[in-house]
Structure 1
Amino acid sequence: MGRNFQIAVAESFSRKESRQIMRYRSIIATVLALCLGLLTACAEEPSEYVDKSQLTYDQVLGTGLANKCPRLASSRRGTIEVSTDTTYKIKDMCLQPTEFYVKEEPENKRREAEFVPGKLLTRSTSSLDQIIANLKFTEDGQFLFQEIDGIDFQPITVQLPGGEQIPFLFTVKGLTAQTERGLENINTSTDFEGDFKVPSYRGALFLDPKGRGVASGYDNAIALPAQADDEDYERANKKSVSRFSEEKGHISLQIEKVDEVTGEIAGTFESEQPSDTDLGAQEPEDVKIRGIFYGRVETTTS
């Protein structure tokens, strides 16, 4: 009986200790949560840059990381000093679209056409990356931007509220942009604006649903050979890639963050360009793209 009494007393003390431990554990957890919250609120916002070259294919696959551009902390508002005697390049430039708009004719003919928002259908394959551009600073204080290489185009499809799907080739191929004159350095007030080429969405070997193409396929719709030269079918039958070699787009880049130590810049962009025309069979739609961009300014050693 004495032994049973000792066991009962021990169990009573162990239950009390357990309750006290649980009470202290909840208090400690609350204090730690408050401390972490204060540290997060007071700490500087970190850069979201992830060196994707250090990751394997399996580590990137399915994460959406390959479609995201690096971001700088909001407090990065320095300046990058430049000289007319030095040549520069912008490397690892990335453009990540976040909003898409298509100009749509209103039902009321008295109203002007307006841009309506579209829903991205191509998901995580919409960003441009690894773009390299020459950057020149002139004596009158103007920056000249010339895109020369990189993953500078992506086929994208957006869907309008009515269900219509608009394909287009998001690109900055051959972009030539400049800033206003009178600048002394690269800062958060530096804005670039310029034009670029918009290649054909389809290539010469593409065949439409009726088997018509530029370099291969039928010359006309098989079921209507006698009407091959009819005006209603002429554009669809006589497909061409060269007629779109002069298509142009326009873009503006607003620098909002600058890290003078690493030479990194980041900001927002707005681009307008034509959509796909099925190799000339349709009229192009006007597409507006908004998003964020990132780049790194470096001096040219050669």
Structure 2
Amino acid sequence: MVLHGLLPKPLPSDEVTVGQLLTHPLHPERDGFYSQVAHEAVDDLNDYHIQLRYKDLFSVDAEGRFMANYGAKFDLGRIYRQPNLLTVTAEQMIQRTSQHPIRAFEAVCEDPEARGWIQEKAKSGSPLYIVVGLTELKNATFKRAKLRDAGASTRLNEMPIEKGAKVPQAVRRNSTIGLGAEQHVSGVFGMDVRCVKAKISRPEEPHLLEDIGLHWAYFDLPGAQNKEQLMIGLGEPLKANELRLMLDLSKEEQRGNLDAISQLSLDALSAAASPMLRPSSPALRGRSPSPHPQLRA
């Protein structure tokens, strides 16, 4: 089964759904909108596919981002020169796909509240996207993979992922997700996400060249003095490579390190409040309030 556009890192399953509008496909927690009005219409268009004991083979780039998936029955020529491969085994793969993405898009746009949110983002110049398909893996495990027989066959040797490996943080052995040496990761690994372009114009204004190829919907703006309209266009799906380049892993690593430091500082503050510890206790030496900017206030 082919995944939707492979994400460079898995996303929490409860943060993204089909029909959701986003300002960044890899950071749904930042800003987004889900139309409750269009929920039933969007859900009726969804097709579901469930596969048990799902297997796949992922490649990872030099920065530690998922790059491509090749399937359980992969083509040797596609992976022969890939130095960083991971086998994936999941208890379950669930795929939700809109059978008619344009109709789902139009249903969302018919919601006045959704149009208001889109209009605000259009005025601020914020990028917009809509999710029309998701691939979710349940209890997925990852192992380092290398070709046997110097690539003379498609047989693979598997071994645990080494600590500190350049792989997405969620699947590392030292990750906080899962227990023991083998992590069990559940989340969204693939996404059919499409660019949305929105602008305010007048009906007589011509489209630009970059507007060609998009599916457009037009809505009158209530109270507009010059008969302005809100134009909302649906683009093509983002490819896996486009999604990969949208992830700045250096910032992700920095954020993870700050979170870890903050947790240590919170643990120290909690310990300091304990009546069982004296100020001279070794557990309190060398600890200071968190440098994490969100915890300074």
In terms of fraction of residues, the more helix-rich structure is 2
Higher alpha-carbon Rg: 1
TM-score, normalised via structure 1 length: 0.23
TM-score, normalised via structure 2 length: 0.24
